Amino acid sequence: MMADITYRQALHDVLREELLRDENVFLLGEEIGNFEGSYKITAGLLKEFGPKRVVDTPICENGFVGMATGAAMLGLRPIVEIMTINFIVLAMDEIVNHAAKIYAMFGGQCPVPLVIRTPGGGGQQLSATHSQNLEVWFAHVPGLKVVAPSTPADAKGMMRSAVRDNNPVIFLENLALYNTKGEAPADDYVVPFGKAKVSKEGADLTVISYSRMAAVALDVARRLEKENQLSVEVVDLRSLRPLDHETILNSVKKTNRAIIFEEDWRSYGIGAEIAAILQEYAFDYLDAPIKRVASLEVPLPYSKPLEIAALTGAKQLLETINELAPRRRRGVQR
C-alpha cells in the first residue's frame, strides 16, 4: 500500500535512507543541522547521524561546494544543500569550472559523485534576489546532470539515482512543491535520468513542463478534460540534462501541437531548447507554431499583486491552450 506523503517528507526520507545505506554519503550546507534546514528537509538527521555526517557550514557557498567537490574526488558522496538556487551563483566557479570538468579533464580517472540539492521558484514574496529559476544555466553545461522532479515519488527515485551517480548532479527542487502530496512507494526504487514521463495522455495538444509547472499543467489538463473535453497530453521532463528527446517527439508527433510551460524567463530558456528540438526532428508533424508560456522578463517584484502578475501560472497556460487548441478535437470519442 502506498501512502500519500509530501514532497518535503519524500526528500527527508530518501536522504535518511541513503545516509543509512552508504556510510560515504554525508550532507552539508547552511543551517541544515541544528536548525534542521531552512525548509526542514533535514529535520532530525543531525541527531540521528551526528555532526560528521550532517555538517553545518558557514555562509560561504564557494567554500563548501569546493570542499564537497574535493571530498567527492577522494571517494565520499556529499549531498550539498544550497539554501535556494539564488545563492548558487557564489559557487559557479566550483560547479562549472571544477566539478563539471574534472572527470573529463583527467581522462576519466577521477569521478566526482557530488549532489547539489537546491530549491528554485517564486511566489513566496521573497523578491527579486530570492525567487529565481536558474536551472537553465546548469542545463547548458556538459559534465553536469540537472534533474527537476515534480512529484514525491519522482523526487525519491531521482534522489537515489543522483546519490548513486558517479558525477555531479544538480537536483532542483521548488519552494512551492514542498507541501504538495503524492503517492510514493516505500521500496528502494530508482528513477533513471533522461526519461521524461507522460503524466497524462491526450490527443489535442501537448504541454511539456518540469518541476512545479508540470504539476500545474497536469491539474489544468485534468480540469480541461472534465470541463470541455479538450484532451491535453502532459509531458513531465523530470530530467533537463540529459533530456529525453524521444518522449517529447513522440508526443508531439501524436498531437501535432506543443506548448512549453516553464516558470523561468522565456528568452534562452528550457522552452527555447525544446522548441528547437521539436522543429528540427518533428517539423513535418507540426500543425501550429510551438508556444512558450513562461514568466515575465523582469526582476521579480516583492509586491504581491505585481508578483502574481509577473509569474506564469495556470491562467497563462489556459489562455495559450485555448489559443492553440485545434478546431476538431481528437480526445472526444465519436
User: Measured from the CB of residue 228, what is the shortest distance to other proteins in angstroms?
Assistant: 6
Reading the block at residue 253, the C-alpha cell is: 508527433
Q: Whose Cβ is closer to other proteins: residue 52's or residue 334's?
A: 334
If the CB atoms of residues 55 and 290 are measured against other proteins, the closer one turns out to be 290
**Which amino acid would we find at residue 8?**
R
Catalytic residue, candidates 130, 201, 245, 273 = 130
Q: In whole angstroms, how close is the CB of 251 to other proteins at the nearest point?
A: 14
Smallest distance from the beta carbon of 223 to other proteins, in angstroms? 13
Helix (H, G, I), strand (E, B) or coil at 293: strand
Considering the complex, what minimum distance in angstroms separates the CB of residue 171 from other proteins? 37
**Alpha carbon of residue 279 to chain centroid:** 24
Q: Which residue has the cell 555531479?
A: 168
Q: Tell me which residues touch other proteins (CB under 8 A).
A: 227-229, 256, 283-288, 326-329, 332, 334
Whether 179 contacts 130, CB under 8 Å: no
Q: Nearer to other proteins by C-beta: 43 or 296? A: 296
**98 part of the active site:** no
Closest CA to 32 of 44, 21, 42, 47: 42
* DSSP state letter for 285: G
As a whole number of angstroms, the distance between CA 163 and CA 20 comes to: 13
Smaller CB distance to other proteins: residue 66 or 326?
326
192 three-class SS: coil
Active site residue 130: yes
Instruction: Give the active site residue among 36, 61, 81, 262.
Output: 61
Catalytic residue annotation: 61, 130
